[in-house]
Amino acid sequence: MGGKMGITTKVSSGKMSPLKMALYALLALALLLSPILFEGFGMLFMTRIMALVGLYVMLALGLNIVVGYAGLLDLGYIAFYAIGAYSGVIIGEIAIKFLPPVLQPWTYFLMIPVAGAFAALAGITLGTPVLRLRGDYLAIVTLGFGEIVRIILLNDAFGVTNGAAGLPRAGEFIPNPAGLDWLISKFYFTIPGLGPNGFNFMFSNNLYWYYIIVLLCCLTIFVVNRLNQSRLGRSWVAMREDEVAASSMGISIMGAKLWAFSLGAVWGGIAGLTFANFQQFVSPESFTFMESVFVVCTVVIGGMGSIPGAIVGALLIQGTPELIRGFASSGIIPGLSGEQVTAISNYRNLVFGLLMVLMMIWRPQGIIPSKRRAAELTATDEIADEENQTLYDMQHDDSHYE
Amino acid sequence: MTITTIFEQLINGITLGGMYALIALGYTLVYGILLMINFAHSELFMCGAYVGLGTLSVLTNETFISEIVAKAPFFAFLIPASAFFTSGTVGLISLFLIVFLVSMTVIGFMGVIIERFAYRPLRHAPRLAPLISAVGVSIFLQNAVLLWIDSKQIPFPNPMGISVAFTFLGVSVSTLKVFIVATAIILMVLLDLYIGRSRMGKAMRATSQDREAAGLMGIDINLAIMLAFFIGPALGAVAGVFYGMYYGSIVFNMGFIPGMKAFTAAVIGGIGNLRGAMLGGFVLGIVESLAAGFLSSGYKDVIAFGVLILVLVFRPGGLLGESVVEKV
């Protein structure tokens, strides 16, 4: 492999082969068009699954900043998801009362920075005292934080979360986002000859949120990628490898950790808000410890610190069981009873537990490892040399310092 | 609160504390030797309750026994045995002894097996690897019980019934509570003697101080680690059986909250410190019970987690622990 293909896509992006570009273009096209086909052929559940997988991609990429880049194990990440969802919905409800009618459908979009800010604030508030702790202590404290947040929501501590019943309260609703009603009223068509039942396309709620989530995922990937290559990203890696060495190189350990924690939280918060709006409902039972574990699983199994890894992990962990359930309930896999489907989704957890153990033993770098991680975990000199060569090239090639 | 309620909560707190302390010992033993949080410990506690319930059912549950005998007449001896176990003090004591011994042995070996397959290959891996592996084991065990035993709550009989040991300040204290606290204290004293006085205990302490040096002195490190992984879960199993009797039912995910609390107890006492874990267990049990009396009981889990975060932030070494210096 050439020295310049490596750590950064930035270095390689200028030299992307036509084949690779064509593949990416095809992938993008498939992502944009496939839900339209699914909707048209009546497989409505597919769009929903794709949107849910997209949310998991966002969550995994956000947690990836914390676990993959900075090396801090956060077992309560779902708390930020919850905080984003609840703060967005609650403040959105208040905001609607003061907004002019034209702006009301834009509440969701206006709440994105709010949810992100609340999650980041929670990240900083929790992080400031606890980030000094060693790795395994930190894991337990974040777990405790996640549970505290869930219990507080469940007990309706501030009188605004409506306890176990969730939000919005009976009689209230989360307004449709801007453009949805217009799209639904304008975009429907039928091609009778296509397929067994004809091709009946109607723009749906799920489709709208799917596109929003795809956009958000692209934004997340872009930002995370840039972060990884930034000064901050490299200080995370240095810190993850050796805190003492990193701090003697002038890196502020607390600063770097807090940045990782709060930036990770921001994506959790935005994903949470989107989840609440997509579901039109939010309740504490979506934010259990198991959910945190699933996100950690996604990151670990996909490959810590790897963006494609996070996507593959989300597909595997969130996508597979939902797909099985979807196919079974729509009769595409015949002869699968409801009980069997439940059994399959229960076995999912069993298999994931086993997978986590086996991955740690046999392939700790994950399915699609990041180059840096792979290098340090396998520790073969070849990869390390290549890595060093790439770093050397980067440092002696001024073209990417605009 | 009146004196009576405070005293009542105190008794509850000491009982809970005894159970927390037993579980906390498992965390602290493993942490002391391997510097890892055995996240699966709370699941071993839960499995202990299930094994205990199974043994108890085989020995005393008449419908269960008649089902077994109908299938395999060889087990007909269980019928007179159950009559013996359910009548008289001698029968009751031998029943408890058998239930505890079976549960402790099974869970102890489970701990050893888990160590062998999920943790030992990772002994030289980065620190987060065994923790993630332990989370995996924990999820696996929980779902194994959910899938292969039962997903619903199962009632857990209390062979002591509702008998009252003594009444003090207008509070009647049940025999079960006295029994739980007494057993916990006896087990702790035995453990303390074993670790402090015996040859193998000395080896375990040496291993926890410096694994390599202990190995060079001819100590079988793997044996010491295996022993920690046997004793800890075995004590957790006892707590699991008590927990079932105390609350009257068990369920597959019952381990998580007591496990977290016991971990908190271990941290309060200074993780790695055996006497600290015992003290921490009782302190946490009492604090939680008293606080639950003052606040709404919905928040009693928050208290434990809050205490955990506060202790870790302000006194990470715990009450009895020395401050741990991060080695480079």
Find residue A190's DSSP bridge partners.
A200
* Burial of residue A64 (number of CB atoms within 10 Å: 0-12, 13-18, 19+): buried
Please provide residue A322's backbone torsions phi and psi, each rounded to the nearest 5 degrees. -65, -40
Whether B252 and B45 have beta carbons less than 8 Å apart is answered as no
CA-CA-CA-CA dihedral for B26, B29, B34, B38, to nearest 10: 10
**Given this model, what pLDDT does residue A130 score?**
86
Which among A137, A147, A360 has CB closest to B122? A360
Residue in the structure block whose two tokens are 């030299």? A15
CB proximity list for B327: less than 8 A, separation 6 or greater: none
Contact flag B36-A136 (C-beta cutoff 8 Å): yes
Judge whether B295 is closer than 8 Å to chain A, CB to CB.
Answer: no
Probe site for chain A from B137, B302, B326 (most A CB atoms < 10 A)? B302
Is B84 at the interface with chain A, CB within 8 A?
Answer: no
Region A333-344: mean pLDDT is 69
Q: Is B127 an 8 Å CB contact of chain A?
A: yes
Tell me the shortest Cα–Cα distance from B244 to chain A, in angstroms.
23
- In sequence order, the β-bridge partners of residue A200 are A190
More confident residue, A378 or A260: A260
The answer to whether B33 and B206 are in contact (CB under 8 A) is no
Q: Of B122, B142, B312, which has the smallest distance from its Cβ to A133's Cβ?
A: B312
Residue B224 in contact with residue B200, Cβ under 8 Å? Answer: yes
The residue of chain A nearest to residue B325, with distances taken between CA atoms, is A134
Q: How many Å apart are CA A148 and CA A159, to the nearest integer? A: 16
Percent of chain A with pLDDT strictly greater than 90: 24
User: A155 and B306: CB-CB below 8 Å?
Assistant: no
- Whether residue B36 and residue A346 make contact (CB cut-off 8 A), yes or no, is no
Phi (first) and psi of residue B318, to 5 degrees: 85, 180
For residues A105 and A179, give the distance between their C-alpha atoms in angstroms, rounded to a whole number. Answer: 8
pLDDT > 60? residue A178? yes
pLDDT digits (tens, 9 = 90+) for A123-148: 999 998 888 887 778 888 898 899 88
- Tokens 């269980």: give the residue: B78
C-alpha angle with apex A281: A277 to A286, nearest 5 degrees?
A: 105
Taking CA atoms, what residue in B is nearest to A243?
B328
Count of alpha carbons within 13 Å of B28, Cβ hemisphere only?
37
Quick one: average pLDDT of A71-84? 92
Of A73, A136, A356, the CB nearest to B133: A356
Is B193 at the interface with chain A, CB within 8 A?
Answer: no
Q: DSSP readout, A132-168?
A: TS-HHHHHHHHHHHHHHHHHHHHTTTTSSS-GGG-BS
Write the DSSP symbol of residue B116.
I
CA neighbor of B52 nearest in space, from B255, B257, B243, B247:
B243
pLDDT tens digit sequence for B24-42: 999 999 988 888 889 899 9
* Nearest CB neighbour to A361, from listed B122, B142, B298: B122
Cβ separation B37–A139 shorter than 8 A: yes
Q: Where are the alpha helices (DSSP H) in B35-87?
A: 41-60, 62-71, 78-85
How many CB atoms within 10 Å of residue B3?
Answer: 10
- Please list every residue in chain A whose beta carbon sits closer than 8 Å to the beta carbon of residue B312: 130, 133, 137, 140-141
Q: How confident is the model at residue B163 (pLDDT cuts 50, 70, 90)?
A: confident
- Chains A & B: contacts with CB separation below 8 Å: 121
CB A103 within 8 A of CB A234: no
Q: Are the C-beta atoms of B306 and B68 separated by less than 8 Å? A: no
- Residues of chain A contacting B125 with CB distance shorter than 8 Å: 360, 364
C-alpha span between A307 and A320 (Å, rounded) = 19
Helix (H, G, I), strand (E, B) or coil at B103: helix
> Which chain B residue lies closest to A356 (C-alpha atoms)?
B136
Q: Which of B130, B100, B132 is nearest to B115 (CA)?
A: B130
- Helices and strands (H and E) in chain A: how many: 17, 2
CA atoms within 13 A on the CB side of A113: 2
Q: What percent of chain B stands above pLDDT 70?
A: 97
Interface of A with B (CB under 8 A): 71, 73, 75, 129-130, 132-137, 139-141, 143-145, 147-148, 151-152, 154-155, 244, 289-290, 293, 296, 300, 343, 346-347, 349-350, 352-357, 360-361, 364
CB contact under 8 A, A347 and B147: yes
Q: Among A357, A362, A363, A372, which would you mutate to test the B interface (most chain B Cβ atoms within 10 Å of its Cβ)?
A: A357
d(C-alpha A303, C-alpha A103), whole Å: 42
The residue among B128 and B274 whose pLDDT is bigger is B274
Q: Which of A239, A361, A372, A377 to mutate to test the interface with B (most CBs of B within 10 A)?
A: A361
Instruction: Give the pLDDT confidence of B109-143 residue by residue, as tens digits.
Output: 999 999 999 999 988 887 778 888 998 899 899 98
Residue in A with minimal Cα distance to B35: A136
Backbone phi, then psi, for B124, in 5-degree steps? -105, 10
Residue B273, both tokens:
């410190």
CB contact under 8 A, A135 and B129: no
Q: What is the chain A residue with the closest CA to B121?
A: A361
Instruction: Work out the minimum CA distance from A353 to partner chain B, whole angstroms.
Output: 4
Subunit contact B121:A361, Cβ cutoff 8 A: yes
ipTM: 0.85
Cβ–Cβ contact B147 with A under 8 A: yes
Asked whether the beta carbons of A376 and A368 are under 8 A apart, the reply is: no
Output helix, strand, coil percentages for chain B, rounded to the nearest 5.
Answer: 75, 5, 20
Q: Which site among B43, B135, B140, B254 would you substitute to test the A interface, given the most A Cβ atoms closer than 10 Å to its Cβ?
A: B135
Which residue in the block uniquely carries the two structure tokens 């109607």?
A202
Cα–Cα distance measured from residue B175 to residue B203, given in angstroms and rounded to the nearest whole number: 38
Candidate from A71, A75, A357 with C-beta closest to B136: A357
Task: Tell me the residue type at A186.
Answer: K
What are the residues facing A201 on neighbouring strands? A189
Nearest by CB to residue B309, choosing from A139, A144, A154, is A144
The tokens describing B14, both together, are 């000491």
Say how far apart CA B155 and CA B251 lie, in whole Å. 9
Of B249, B150, B168, B119, nearest in space to B3 by CA: B168
Length in residues, chain B: 328
| pLDDT of A387 | 53
Contact between B306 and A151 using a beta-carbon 8 Å cutoff: no
Whether residues A300 and B132 touch (CB distance < 8 A) is answered with yes
In angstroms, the Cα distances linking B9 to A21, B3, B300 are 69, 10, 13
Strands (E), chain B: 154-155, 164-168, 171-174, 249-250
**DSSP line for B156-198:** ---TTTT-EEEEETTEEEEHHHHHHHHHHHHHHHHHHHHHHHS
Give the confidence band of A122 by pLDDT, cuts at 50, 70, 90: very high
C-alpha–C-alpha distance, residues A243 and A252, integer Å: 10
Selecting from B37, B298, B326 the residue whose C-beta is nearest the C-beta of A136 gives B37
Of A155, A296, A350, the CB nearest to B147: A350
DSSP for A228-281, written as a single string:
HHSHHHHHHHHHHH-HHHHHHTT--HHHHHHHHHHHHHHHHHHHHHHHHHHHT-
CB-CB contact of B20 with B262 (8 Å): yes
The distance of B311 to chain A (nearest Cα, Å) reads: 10
Q: Cα distance from B70 to chain A (closest Cα, Å)?
A: 30
Say which residue, B190 or A350, is predicted with more confidence: B190
Higher confidence at residue A345 or residue B222?
B222
Axis crossing angle, helix A18-40 with helix A44-64, rounded to the nearest 10: 140
- State mean pLDDT over B210-226: 91
The residues facing B173 across adjacent strands are B166
Q: Which amino acid is at A30?
A: A
* Cβ <8 Å between B137 and A357: yes
Chain B residue nearest residue A154, CA to CA: B298
Which residue reads 């750590």 in tokens?
A7
> Measured between CB atoms, does B155 come within 8 Å of chain A?
no
Q: Is the pLDDT confidence value at A228 over 50? A: yes
Q: Which residues pair with A191 in a beta bridge?
A: A199
Higher per-residue confidence, A327 vs A283? A283
**B266 at the A interface (CB within 8 A)?**
no
Cβ of B128 within 8 Å of Cβ of A75? The answer is no
User: How high is the pLDDT of residue B300?
Assistant: 75
Contacts of A139 in chain B (CB under 8 A): 37, 128, 131
User: Could you tell me if B30 lies within 8 Å of chain A, comparing CB atoms?
Assistant: no
Q: Which residues of B touch A352 (CB under 8 A)?
A: 136, 139
| Planar angle of CA A313, A316, A320, nearest 5 degrees | 155
Q: Which residues pair with B250 in a beta bridge?
A: B154
pLDDT band, very low/low/confident/very high, at B325 (cuts 50, 70, 90):
very low
Question: What tokens appear for A43 in the block?
Answer: 């497989």
pLDDT band for A11, please (50, 70, 90 cuts). Answer: very low
B20: contact with A, CB 8 A cutoff: no
Tell me: pLDDT of B226 over 80. Answer: yes
Cβ contacts of B101 within 8 Å, gap of 6 or more: none
Find the residue in B nearest to A364 (Cα): B129
